[in-house]
Structure 1
Amino acid sequence: MRALIASAFMLATAAGAAQAQTQPAENDDLVITGSRFREMVRSFVQEVAPPELSEEQLARWNSRYCPLMAGIPARQAQYLVDRMSQRAHQLGLRPGDENCRPNVLVFITPDADVLAQALADDHDLVAYYNNAEYGNSLGRDALAAFVSSDAPVRWWHVAQTVTERGTIISNSGEVVRSEASRLYRPTRQDFNRVLVIVDARQAAGLQFEALGDYLAMVTLAQLDASADTSQIPSILNLFGQRGASEPRLTDWDLAYLEGLYSAPRHAPDSNAQERAITREMEDRLREPQ
């Protein structure tokens, strides 16, 4: 894995690298009122949900979250990594120290298209797009869309299929004991790695605080890159509404992430997880101020 990471970073115009070690961040509250509130929450959850999940379950990080960044000076990279790690810490994850094995790889480059193609060609980095061995991703069509995208930020998530207790499942023929029922599956989806490419030209002029929160949002959850969140206060509107959107994760974003990380991990399908996220968001956004 270390050799793969090293070769991938040689593809980026890296000026520095940083890894995470930090503390929780601040959290602002937002009061939501109105008769359409429940429908707005439900629509938001459905809008950002990733399409065509082969395992029909939403993935999340299990415990360790270790970003590594290339393409900008070390001091700026460290700020972004720390910001991302603060958000991970808020969700109960364990940000890595300087010796952690990176599993979130962020490239900031003016040659985003070239790098995207190079990463896609490295099957060891985008592994499991054909559901081989013990993991999965969104598939070949999604990988092609990742390469051809002209978005300011594009991302690629790789997940592992594990038992509800976290034991890795492979095609080796080894028998793994697990429990299941009509309410729960014997497996869950854990992120294995996330690759992110930031188009340096399109990101020019952004506040680093805002960019760090955006990167946290799209690496802590697997989101639909084509989602339209323009009607909802969200950091995902950062590039579409420059100067108008909040320069940090909003209450809606935080509520979604809290919902994802509190939803049943081995639910029977992603619909059940999305319902749990919706309920959690409703409760959190309606909390008295």
Structure 2
Amino acid sequence: MRTPFCLASLLLLSMAGAPLAPAQDAKPVQDGGIVVTGKGPEPIGKARRYLRQVLESDSGQLARFVDPVCPLVLGLPERFRAPIDERFRIVAGASSVRLARGKCRPNLMIVFADNADALIETMRKRRNAAFADLDEGALRDAFKAGPIHAWRLVVTRDDMGNVATGDDDPDFPTIFESETQTVTINSVIVMDKRAAQGKSVRQIADYAVMRTLVGARPPDKGSIAAASILSLFDPAVAPPPAEITDMDLGLLSGLYRLRDPYAQGGDQAYRISRTMVTGRPR
């Protein structure tokens, strides 16, 4: 397996004429105080419908970061990067996501571009390391045209932390099969600056939280049947949520507080929905 993630090439790309807008062109609305609030548990039926719309829980385990998360914001001036990074860390930390401290190697990128499609195409032509080892589904997510591109590199690890390759010799099978879990290694979201204009730092950071840490996404057709920051760019939802919602926080917290990391996706989704209702990890 090649090195799973390397930001050097993307950093060089942004400094060498990639379609990232000049700093003065980015004008998201800044927030005041940064807090994470929640109103309480949600009805079980509503929680389950929401999960079915924003997650793919029937195609294997739900992936989450196990290693500490080190986010990096690119393509904006410091006066916007710092508040987005701060808000991202506060929401993630309040939901039991492990965050790297001090100087760390980024494994999560939030990238702002003049034209997201053009940047992705440039990265694809240059065989950017951000696409290394992605499966077909993740590549489709990365290359799908639109103002938002979000994808994750996920692997399967056994209970010793080793990557499970599935390449066992059929003539010499292993005697004991280890339990495995699906783990997010890195995550990237690339966003058009034009799409982000008029949105607050809080909205942008909270949206990035759900796309990168959870892998949640707006449904391809129709709107989400619950208030969700994932509706931020849905023209049918006006006004969009001002921040991450109770549904979103319940999913984020439920995923990162799962007690059994080896359960299957359907069972994980059920346990998360129960956590959303009771407020207790399962």
The residue that corresponds to 1:250 in the other structure is 245
2:233 alignment partner in structure 1:
239
Aligned counterpart, 1:116: 120
Q: Pick from 43, 46, 56 the counterpart of residue 50 of structure 1.
A: 56
Specify whether residues 166 and 112 from structure 1 end up closer, same or farther in structure 2 by C-alpha distance, changes over 3 A only. Answer: same
Taking the aligned partners of 2:205 and 2:71, their CA distance within structure 1 comes to: 11
**The 10-residue stretch of structure 1 (271-280 or 91-100) with the greater mean CA deviation from structure 2:** 91-100
- 1:180-199 to 2 correspondence within 5 Å? 186-199=179-192
Aligned to 1:277: 272
Q: CA deviation at 1:188?
A: 0.4
Residues 85-124 of structure 1: pairs in structure 2 closer than 5 A: 85-121=89-125, 122=127, 124=129
Q: 2:198 maps to which residue?
A: 205
In 2, the alpha carbon distance for the partners of 1:146 and 1:103 equals 16
Question: How many matched pairs?
Answer: 257
CA RMSD of aligned residues (A): 3.2
Q: State the one-letter code of the partner of 2:73.
A: M
Q: In the superposition, relative to structure 1, how do residues 43 and 2 fare at CA in structure 2: closer, same or farther (>3 Å)?
A: closer
Aligned AA (2:133): Y
- In structure 2, how many angstroms separate the alpha carbons of the residues matched to 1:277 and 1:78? 31
Query: CA offset at residue 215 of structure 1?
Result: 0.8
What amino acid does structure 1 have at the position aligned with 2:163? Answer: I
Aligned-residue sequence identity (percent) comes to: 24
Q: Which position in structure 2 is the counterpart of 1:20?
A: none
* Aligned counterparts of 2:188 and 2:8: Cα–Cα separation in 1: 14
Q: Which moves more between the two structures, 7-16 or 187-196?
A: 7-16
Gaps in structure 2 of 5+ consecutive residues? 15-19, 24-33
Name the structure 1 match of 2:143: 147
Partner of 1:21: none
C-alpha distance in 1 between matches for 2:62 and 2:129: 23
1:28 maps to 2:37? yes
CA distance in 2, matches of 1:68, 1:252: 26
Q: Deviations over 1:76-117 (max 9, x none)?
A: 111111111112211223323452000001210112111122
Measure the CA separation in 2 of the matches of 1:26 and 1:67: 19
Question: Could you tell me how far 1:145 is from its partner in structure 2?
Answer: 4.8
Tell me if the contact between 2:224 and 2:231 (Cα under 8 Å) persists in the aligned partners. Answer: yes
**Bigger Cα displacement from structure 2, 225-234 vs 202-211:** 225-234
2:142 counterpart of 1:128? no
Unaligned runs of 5+ in 1: 17-24, 130-136
What is the letter of the counterpart of residue 148 of structure 1?
K
Equivalent-residue separation in structure 1 for 2:195 and 2:271 (angstroms): 35
For the residues of structure 2 that align with 1:40 and 1:5, how far apart are their CA atoms? 39
Structure 2 CA distance, aligned partners of 1:14 and 1:6? 19
CA distance in 2: counterparts of 1:110 and 1:178, whole angstroms: 54
Q: Does 1:266 align with 2:262?
A: yes
Distance 2:84 2:206 in 1: 8
Q: Classify the secondary structure of the residue corresponding to 1:125.
A: helix
